[in-house]
Amino acid sequence: MVNPRESIQRAGTLLEMRRPADAERELRGVLAVRPDHFTAHSLLGLALVQQGKAAEAVSSAQEAVRLAPDQSYPHYMAGQVYLRIRRPDLAITSVRASLAHNPEQASAWELLARAHLMMGQYREVVDAARRGLAIDPQVSDLVSLLAVAHEKLGEAEEARAAAANAVQLDPESATAHLAYGRAALIAGDPRTAAEAFREVLRLDPGFDPARELLVTALKHRNPLYRILTHLRRFRGGWQMVFLLPVIPPLIIVFVLIAVLHWAAWVAEAVTVLRLARARATRLLFEGVEARAALAGCALLVAGAAVLAAGVALGQEALGMAGAAVMALVTPVQEATHTGSARGRGILYGWAGLLGIAIVASATIGSPTIALLSVYAGLGTIWVAAGVRRLSPVSES
C-alpha cells in the first residue's frame, strides 16, 4: 500500500541526492493512487526536467498549477521547471504568482532573482535579492546573487562587499566563492580572484565556468596582459570609415588600433604558453588553446627571423614577408577565440590564404603583395568582427 506522505518525503530526499529517476518512480506510485495530488505533480516536474524530459516536466508542472491554482507551491515549482529549460520569462510569471499567494518566501525571491539574472535584468536581480534578504538575511545564495548583479552593473565595491558576506555566511558554498572571485576580478585583484576560483573547483570539481574564470584570472595576473586586453576591446566604429575621405590622417588611428590588437594577441599567446607549460597550471588549458599559443609564438619568432634575414640580405620583399608572418598572429588568435565552428573555419581559411600570399610574395620577390598581407593580417580584427556577427555561437 502506497503511503503518499512517505513517498513524497522519499522523493524529495532522492531529488536532493540527484537521483531524479528514482524520485520519478516514487512519485508515479503516488499518482497511481492519487492522480489529483498536486505536490506529487510538482515534484514530478522537477524530477523530469532533471532528466532532460522538458516537455513532460512542463506538462506535469502545469497540471499541478491547474489542480491547486490558489497554492503558492505549484507556481513556485513550475518556476523551477521553466528556469531549468531556460525560459526565464515564464519562470518570472510563475514565481510572481507564487509570491502573490506567499510573499514571505525567501526561496521564491531567490528564484525570481535567478530568472532576472538569466534575462540580464540586473537591477531587478538586486531588488529581488534584497526583498528575499529582508525575510532571511542568512541565505548565502541570495547574497551571492546580489554580488553578481552588482558586478554586472559595474559596481565593484558593492559586489565585493556582498560576495565577502556570502562567503562568511557559507564558507562551503561554491556559489559564494564564485561571486567573490568575479567581484575580485572586476576590482582588479586577479590574485584573490584566482584563489576564489580554485576554492570553487575544490568544492565542485566539475564546474566548468569556474575553470574558465580561473584561467582568465591567471592571465590577468600579468600587468602587461591586463593593459593590452583593455585596449583590445576598442576596435573603432565602422562609421569611422566614412570619415576617411574627409580626414585622411584618420588612417593612422586604424593602424594604431590594429597594431595594439596585434600586441594584445601576442601577449595572449605568450601568457597562455607560459601557463600551459607550468606544472601548477598546465591542466587548466585545453589542447587547442595551448596549440594556438604555441603557433602564435612560433609565428612571432619565425617572422622576426625572416625579417632580420631580409634586412641583412637587403631583400625588401623577404623582409616584408617576415613582417607579414608576424602579423599572422592576429588571424590565428582571432580564429581560435571565435565561438562558432563556422566562424572559426572561415577565419582559419582566411589565415591560410594570407599564408599562401606571403609565401608567393617572398618567392616572386614582390614587396607590394607582402605589404598588403601585413595590412590584411593586422586588419583581421575587423574581418573577425564581421564573421562573428554573421556566425553566432548558436550555430556552432
Is residue 272 scored above 80 in pLDDT?
A: yes
- What three-state secondary structure class fits 315? coil
pLDDT above 90 for 339: no
Task: State pLDDT tens for residues 120-171.
Answer: 999 999 999 999 999 999 999 999 999 999 989 988 889 999 999 999 999 9
CATH topology for 120-218? 1.25.40
User: What pLDDT does residue 338 have?
Assistant: 87
Of all helices (H) and strands (E), which one includes residue 118?
A: helix 106-118
pLDDT of amino acid 395: 39
What is residue 22's predicted lDDT score, i.e. its pLDDT? 93
Q: Does this chain's domain 1-102 share its CATH topology with 120-218?
A: yes
pLDDT, one tens digit per residue, over 354-379 is: 999 999 999 999 999 999 999 999 99
What DSSP line would sit under 155-189, residue for residue? -HHHHHHHHHHHHHH-TT-HHHHHHHHHHHHHTT-
> Which is more confident, 395 or 361?
361
- At 20-72, the pLDDT tens digits run 999 999 999 999 999 999 999 999 999 999 999 999 999 999 999 999 999 99
Whole-number Å distance between alpha carbons of 141 and 234: 35
The confidence score (pLDDT) of residue 240 equals: 55
Q: What is the pLDDT of residues 252-263, one digit of tens each?
A: 877 888 898 898
Angle at 84 between CA 78 and CA 86, to 5 degrees: 105
- Band of pLDDT at residue 244, cut at 50, 70 and 90: low
Q: Which three cell numbers stand for residue 362?
A: 617572398
Cβ–Cβ < 8 Å for 354, 376: yes
Task: Flag whether pLDDT at 231 surpasses 90.
Answer: no
What does R_g of the chain's alpha carbons equal in angstroms?
27
CB atoms within 10 A of CB 249: 7
Judge whether residue 236 has pLDDT over 60.
no
pLDDT in the model for residue 286: 67
The predicted pLDDT at position 396 comes to: 35
Give which of 163, 164, 168, 169 is closest to 145, Cα–Cα.
Answer: 163
pLDDT interval class at 235 (50, 70, 90): low
pLDDT tens string 61-107: 999 999 999 999 999 999 999 999 999 999 999 999 999 999 999 99
Instruction: Report the share of the chain in percent with pLDDT over 90.
Output: 62
Q: Where are the domains of the chain?
A: 1-102, 120-218, 231-395
Question: Which class in CATH covers the domain with range 1-102?
Answer: mainly alpha
pLDDT band at 4 (very low <50, low <70, confident <90, very high): confident
